[in-house]
Amino acid sequence: MNRYDGDVLAAGWQQKSKKVVPEIALERGMVLEDATTGFCGAVTRWENGLVVLEGRGDKRRSFPIGYGFLLEGKPVAVKAPPRAAGRAGAVTGRTASGSVAGPAEKAKVALPSRIYVEGRHDAELVEKIWGDDLRHVGVVVEFMDGIDDLHDIVSDFRPEKGRRLGVLADHLVPGSKESRIAAGVAKGPYGSFVLVAGHPFIDIWQAVKPAKVGLQSWPHVPRGTDIKHGTCAALGWPHRDQADIARAWQRILATVTSWNDLERGLLTPVEQLIDFVTQDHIH
């Protein structure tokens, strides 16, 4: 046999030495290892292009869906499974946040850990989109009047391992009052067990995609004008008193049905907070 037989430059010669990495669909409970970090855990959920693995000590980490995983020691690429074809009256199998919905569960005792949000509107939006996920892990969301009292809230709560505190802050951008308060808490005695994550919006209303209320962008409200009153005025909605503001918010909230109706600037911090406050607990 002549070892020089054949055309070494024939089409496809580059692929002969390459190993094909199989692509597999994700399943709850599937044990994967991230090849880069070595983190190994069971698949708990997947959404927004990320898969969440739960490893030893109930620690959870998120990784991009795709290549870079090991299954039983062998390289694989993972993908989200196709959605089942809908049937009349059938359950979609996903929560409003995009997580894979599990079977119906008995009510759980709430975990000691908590997530605090600024204001009732924030709490209502988080409940509408992440309520099923939060009940699944047993986390209660509470609202605070504002971030100005955060140091006192943290001192009263006394966070520790297994009793973590997550805080969703409005307008958490560099140089803001909110960022300075968050930095002070992080440097305090409970900093290791407190995570202040925030969205960049002045008010939670702006976390809803403006197209949901027929706008290309949320109106600019001049400094010194209440953001909610100014927004209602620009939209031509009544804003004479708090009852009008409440009705305006319910009108906006009614347009939100899933995570896809919200801006990325809110989705990421809420997911981070859920992961943070549950990492010491068994789910």
Strand partners, 77: 23
Q: Which two tokens stand for residue 123?
A: 């709490």
Distance CA 205, CA 9 (A): 61
Give kind and range of the element (H or E) at residue 116. strand 114-118
When pLDDT is averaged across residues 230-234 and rounded to a whole number, the result is 92
| Single pTM value for the model | 0.64
When pLDDT is averaged across residues 260-265 and rounded to a whole number, the result is 92
The 10s digit of each residue's pLDDT in 102-116 is 555 555 567 899 999
Q: Is the distance from CB of 97 to CB of 181 less than 8 angstroms? A: no
Q: Identify the band that residue 90 occupies on the pLDDT scale cut at 50, 70 and 90.
A: very low
Q: Which domains are assigned to the chain?
A: 23-79 (2.30.30), 114-208+256-279 (3.40.50)
Residue environment code for 188-223, b if the CB has 16+ CB neighbours within 10 A, otherwise e: eebeebbbbbbbebebbbbbbbeeebeeeebeebee
